[in-house]
Structure 1
């Protein structure tokens, strides 16, 4: 009997969690499956796509950018609404193929090396400790929302430092991420957590360009330039200040490029979008995902508290078990095969990281959280030329926050059910109420 992959294309499916049983059944049935794209949640229907399910096929695809292009149709499952939207999206590093991709990646790569991350470790640890102490307060026990009170702010503080955004403006990044990643979730699509009174003049000026909801309460598509006009306005205001007073941050590095390496206006805007949104969202959801992993495996949490040396392997296992980014799209440039299945030129091909990271061919007992798992060739940060620049930074933030939290608590448990993002792209956590008791 065939297995219907239809629920995987509907963002509403994931409000109840990732359907791992369905992915396992599909993975057992074959290396790829064809998925239809019906009209959903106000979006038009699409031509359908191949979903790649097994670890070996996902890694093989991602290391072949000439055959499976990021540029041809960009990297979101749904096609951009207009040719103009596609042309603009193609100026983002995420949606480029080599060699153009390397031209934009090289200048900023040195900001994310292990040595560069090591220079940030003290401030990340200090921020993590301060956030934990703020959440716990002076009480011996209590409750908090891990997703909002801890997991949201640490990546914002880190990214503000790396990107060169003034710290008072960091919650702008939170709202932008919500609107882009959560545009199919009514709780996130109109996010407005930033308090303009606490921000800079540039932030207040950018807010004047913020799109307004229509009569039905819907914001314009945030995957278009018009849908994020406030983000782009802020990018140019920040660029002006960096030209007057450059620093060591990523924006200053980008603006210092000359000659053939100089960025066009569209490339600069898209690079800021990429760091402000993607640089925040993956670890922001990886942190509460790791908390859920430990809450679901209390013996593993107790062991990690007793044996902090386990963090050396635990960080990657927590990320694998959760897998914040569930899928990414490529487009076939020529007729080919994946796992023996014919794929035609122009077909959309979507890799399932959520499935690949639970592939029993690679991971023994893949649904079990094993903090000692080694080797752990998970694909949370992708593979091939687009491997995530911020992988070292993400790993360290997760480690710093949980080291601080577990060192100060004797017990952590659910204080209520988690709330998951309505999205088939990002495995997001909107709320995670926890109950804690101090050591």
Structure 2
């Protein structure tokens, strides 16, 4: 847990990782970190990693120490300073401005029906085929169509929505500094600016509940509006996509758990909660250390970069029994898949609705005999999900 600065505090121990192995499966290294060095500097990532759930739960709320304001961070540099990279009053003001788009009431009364229509269209298109890639042919378009509605960028296709989202995701996780990845990210952010420009006149004439529109109605600056739309796209596409695909895989590889859902013993909401605990689609959240502090006896200095490792926290053996098992009877209350502080994911209600109330039940209902049809590799540690998922069903 956190302490005040003391003379006997020590520097963060150095913990080496194999970046490629960490990308393919971060969980063995994260377990070692929790056991051996819960606050440690990882040179391959250029950051201190905080890996235990209770440490993260307490310290994420201390925005005066662990600041989201990161002027030199990749997200700010590549996408603009969105509300996720602000603290205090500035963050609260923008979060309040966008609330009419993401509130539980808006999700229920506006977005859910649109999610249902879009998901039905995707499944009607693939059902006669008898087989598909769950990630690219089903989860990706479902997520993309939902995000088009929420952002207000309804004029683009779901494939383009996925392209620009993935380009930004790759860019803000580009800690190795690959120039090609950075160039693709710039191309994607420029495309989003063009799409925003195209939609502004229509939304000025006829406002709606979309993110672009409610920000315009709230009087946010042009820079604020664009940065927050990019933020929504960067997380609002790949995370629901990865959870839809990953949760389908989890159920198909755990037929006993799927049987419990089909019989009504367990709700689809529990599938969502347990999957996002087990394989957190958002594996970490970065912070800048704003002032000297000590956590677990480790001295942190102003300017240090620190990652709250949500993917590790949600498998913390000190909190969860058999955390590496997918278990729908588990109490997921302590999980922090969407964060634990003032930056708790604003899109959580929309994601829960899309995945648990719409996509998962419709997929299993409309694709009878759904089954895996090949290997399912996963990838990522900052953002994690299935890379491909061949499936088949009865026609």
Q: TM-score, normalization: structure 2?
A: 0.87
Correspondence 1:280 to 2:237: yes
Q: Provide the residue aligned with 1:266 in structure 2.
A: 223
Correspondence 1:242 to 2:250: no
- In structure 2, which of residues 17, 40, 48 is the aligned counterpart of residue 6 of structure 1? 17
Q: Any residues of structure 2 matched to 1:369-380 within 5 Å, and which?
A: 369-380=326-337
- In structure 2, which of residues 212, 215, 226 is the aligned counterpart of residue 254 of structure 1? 215
Correspondence 1:118 to 2:108: yes
Correspondence 1:365 to 2:322: yes
Q: Provide the residue aligned with 2:255 in structure 1.
A: 298
Q: Which runs of 5+ in 1 are unaligned?
A: 39-47, 187-215
CA distances 1:20-56 after superposition (whole Å, capped 9, x unpaired)? 1221121111321110037xxxxxxxxx221000001
Q: Distance in 2 between matches of 1:307 and 1:3?
A: 48
Whether the aligned pair in 1 keeps the contact of 2:14 and 2:43 (CA below 8 Å) is no
* CA positional deviation for 1:220: 4.1
Q: Distance in 2 between matches of 1:404 and 1:344?
A: 50
| 3-state SS of paired residue (1:372) | coil
| 3-state SS of paired residue (1:127) | helix
Correspondence 1:53 to 2:44: no
Q: Provide the residue aligned with 1:31 in structure 2.
A: 38
Q: Any residues of structure 2 matched to 1:157-196 within 5 Å, and which?
A: 157-166=145-154, 168-183=156-171
Whether the aligned pair in 2 keeps the contact of 1:63 and 1:383 (CA below 8 Å) is yes
Q: Distance in 2 between matches of 1:6 and 1:416?
A: 30
Q: Provide the residue aligned with 2:180 in structure 1.
A: 218
Q: Distance in 2 between matches of 1:184 and 1:270?
A: 13
Q: Distance in 2 between matches of 1:185 and 1:413?
A: 33
Q: 1:3 to 1:294 in 2, by over 3 A?
A: farther
CA distances 1:333-372 after superposition (whole Å, capped 9, x unpaired)? 1110122221111111111111001011111111111112
* CA positional deviation for 1:159: 1.6
Whether the aligned pair in 1 keeps the contact of 2:133 and 2:388 (CA below 8 Å) is yes
CA distances 1:264-299 after superposition (whole Å, capped 9, x unpaired)? 222122112112222222111111121222233222
- In structure 2, which of residues 355, 370, 395 is the aligned counterpart of residue 412 of structure 1? 370
Q: Provide the residue aligned with 2:361 in structure 1.
A: 403
Q: Distance in 2 between matches of 1:284 and 1:55?
A: 25
| 3-state SS of paired residue (1:6) | coil
Q: Distance in 1 between matches of 2:254 and 2:263?
A: 15
Q: Which runs of 5+ in 2 are unaligned?
A: 1-12
Correspondence 1:97 to 2:59: no
* CA positional deviation for 1:325: 1.2
Whether the aligned pair in 2 keeps the contact of 1:146 and 1:432 (CA below 8 Å) is yes
Q: Distance in 1 between matches of 2:182 and 2:306?
A: 27
Q: Any residues of structure 2 matched to 1:121-160 within 5 Å, and which?
A: 121-137=112-128, 142-160=130-148
Q: Distance in 2 between matches of 1:407 and 1:133?
A: 12
Mean Cα displacement is larger for which, 395-404 or 304-313?
304-313
Whether the aligned pair in 2 keeps the contact of 1:157 and 1:167 (CA below 8 Å) is no
Count of aligned pairs: 378
Q: TM-score, normalization: structure 1?
A: 0.79
CA distances 1:125-153 after superposition (whole Å, capped 9, x unpaired)? 3332332333222x7xx321100111111
